[in-house]
Amino acid sequence: MQVVYSSRHLAHDIDTETFMGVGVPANEVAERAERIRTALTADGEFAFSEPTEHGEAPITAVHDEGLVRFLEVAWSEVRAQAIPRAFLSADTYPNLAMFEGISPDAVQRLVREPGHVGGRAGYWGLDSAAPLVAGTYDAARAAVDVALTTMDLVLGGERAAYGLCRPPGHHAARSMYGGYCFFNNAAIVADAITRATGERVAILDVDYHHGNGTQQIFWRRGDVRYVSIHADPERAYPYFLGRADESGEGEGSGENLNIPLRAGATNADYLEATDRAVEAIAAGPGSIVVVSLGFDTYGLDPIGDFALTTDVYHEVGHRIATLDRRLVILQEGGYHRPSLGENARAWLRGAEGRAFDPLPSSGFTERGTVA
Residues 230-249 close enough to bind ligand Q9C by CB under 6 A: 237
- Identify the CA nearest to 33 among candidates 167, 206, 172: 167
Q: Give yes or no for residue 294 binding ligand Q9C (CB under 6 A).
A: yes
Q: Is 208 in the site for Zn ion (CB under 5 A)?
A: yes
CA triplet 235, 63, 103: central angle to 5 degrees? Answer: 70
Which residues, 6 or more positions from 268, have their beta carbon under 8 angstroms from its beta carbon? none
The answer for residues whose C-beta is within 8 angstroms of residue 357's C-beta and 6 or more apart is none
332 contributes a contact to ligand Q9C by CB under 6 A: yes
Pattern 187-226, binding to ligand Q9C, x per CB under 6 A? --------------------x-x-----------------
Stretch that binds ligand Q9C, among 58-66, 80-88, 102-110, 176-184 (CB under 6 A): 176-184
Shortest spacing between CB 139 and ligand Q9C, in angstroms: 14
Rounded-to-integer distance, Cα 120 and Cα 113, Å:
6
Transcribe 22-81 into DSSP letters.
EEEE-SS-HHHHHHHHHHHHHHSS-EEE------SHHHHTTS-HHHHHHHHHHHHHHHHT
Q: Which entry of 63, 171, 209, 336 is annotated as an active-site residue?
A: 171
Query: Is residue 306 a contact residue for ligand Q9C (CB under 6 A)?
Result: no
- Give dist(CA 232, CA 273) in Å, integer: 13
> What single DSSP character describes residue 321?
H
Name the residue whose CB lies closest to ligand Q9C.
333
CA-to-CA distance for 167 and 131, rounded, in angstroms? 11
Residue 28 as a binder of Zn ion (CB under 5 A): the answer is no
Stretch of residues binding Zn ion (CB under 5 A), selected from 43-51, 61-69, 209-217, 361-369: 209-217
Q: Which does 19 bind (CB under 5 to 8 A by kind): ligand Q9C, Zn ion, none?
A: ligand Q9C
Of the candidate residues 296, 323, 339, 343, the single one contacting ligand Q9C (CB under 6 A): 296
CA 244 to chain centre: 19
Q: Which is nearer to ligand Q9C, 167 or 317 (CB)?
A: 167
Which of ligand Q9C, Zn ion, none sits in contact with 180, Cβ below 5 to 8 A by type? ligand Q9C
Q: Classify residue 130 by its DSSP letter.
A: S
Alpha carbons 138 and 103: distance in angstroms, whole number: 38
- Residues of this chain that interact with Zn ion (CB under 5 A) are 207-209, 294, 296, 333
- Residues of this chain that interact with ligand Q9C (CB under 6 A) are 19, 129, 168, 171, 179-181, 207, 209, 237, 294, 296, 303, 332-333
Active site residues per annotation: 171
